[in-house]
Amino acid sequence: MASSKKQLVVFDFDWSMADQDSDRWLFEVLAPDLRRKMRDRSREPGKTLQWTDIVSLKNILHIHRHDIENAMRQIPFHPAMKRGIQLLKNPTSLDTTLFILSNANTFFINTILQHQGIRDCFETIITNPADFSDPEKPNRLVLRRRVGPDDLPHGCQVGCEENMCKGQELTRYLDAHRQPDNTEFDRIIYVGDGSNDFCPVLRLRRQDVVLCRRFRGLERKIADERAKGDVSRLQCTVEYWSGAWEVEEKFKVYAQGSSLGVVN
């Protein structure tokens, strides 16, 4: 039976849904020498890597579309994460919407989700656009930043990378999905791991939850914020996980209406 209770589950992609970084995985599989070069460059003082730019560089021009697709189909994707996602989309007493907010790109994410058979579980994917739209080079992946170098800067003060402020994107999504009577989602669950997930997590409310992967940037950011005590900006509940099976266990609870006070 349909419920009036609505929840939104937001997923970061790399290291949160996929058990790997999709950009780096591409290099691991198809261009290991370049992978090493990028690592060395990232260690140079003052260098900020924009992977969106690197992936689209001439360095991978020789890589054919089929090779990229095959590499993405091999990316580690834990079966427990897949089961958890499917569980949330099963008809339950809650109306659950799944949304991806990622700094990867549309081509990688769509290829991976289609291969896993779960693309249809997600209503919206907000990430960097990527396609093979260059008519003169039909096998060249054309990858653009979500916020390009010529666009108005997003002006984030929390520390998002210049190509995307995930907090701003989350707020835009929520504004666009506000009901006619101005009601919002009853609960937002945010699954993330990286330091760039911190900005959207700061925008979550008291009734919302972040499922934070341990030992990565987001955990450190949350610990620093909590250490501020009374002036901490963090309002939501924080739950930690290390393996995808733990996320699946949490989703078993959050898929039930009783977790939002709905009597079945």
Residues acting as catalytic residues: 12, 14
25 closest CA partner among 40, 38, 44: 38
CB proximity list for 22: less than 8 A, separation 6 or greater: 13, 14, 72, 75, 104, 105, 108, 109, 112
Q: Helix, strand, or coil here: 88?
A: helix
Question: How many CA atoms are closer than 13 Å to the CA of 16, on its beta-carbon side?
Answer: 29
Using CB under 5 A as the binding criterion, the count of chain residues that bind Zn ion stands at 6
For residue 11, give both structure tokens: 């997923």
Among 71, 72, 75, 160, binds Zn ion (CB under 5 A): 160
Nearer to Zn ion (CB atom), residue 82 or residue 146? 146
The residue ranges of DSSP E strands in 106-256, in sequence order, are: 124-128, 130-131, 142-143, 187-192, 209-213, 237-241
- 21 belongs to an annotated ligand binding site: no
Task: Output the smallest distance, CB 164 to Zn ion, in A.
Answer: 8
Among 72, 81, 112, 165, binds Zn ion (CB under 5 A): 165
Q: Does 156 bind Zn ion (CB under 5 A)?
A: yes
Contact 208, 237 (CB under 8 A): yes
| Interaction residues for Zn ion, span 176-205 (CB under 5 A) | 199
Task: Output the smallest distance, CB 163 to Zn ion, in A.
Answer: 11
Segment interacting with Zn ion (CB under 5 A) among 20-28, 163-171, 236-244, 246-254? 163-171
Q: What are phi and psi of 185, to 5 degrees?
A: -60, 140
Nearer to Zn ion (CB atom), residue 41 or residue 233? 233
Nearer to Zn ion (CB atom), residue 22 or residue 103? 103
- 175 belongs to an annotated ligand binding site: no
- 150 belongs to an annotated ligand binding site: no
Nearer to Zn ion (CB atom), residue 69 or residue 162? 162
For residue 192, give both structure tokens: 């993330």
Helix (H) or strand (E) holding 244: helix 244-254
Q: Does 167 bind Zn ion (CB under 5 A)?
A: yes
Q: Binding-site residues, please?
A: 12, 14, 193
Which residues lie near Zn ion (CB under 5 A)? 156, 158, 160, 165, 167, 199
Q: Binding-site residues for Mg(2+), please?
A: 12, 14, 193
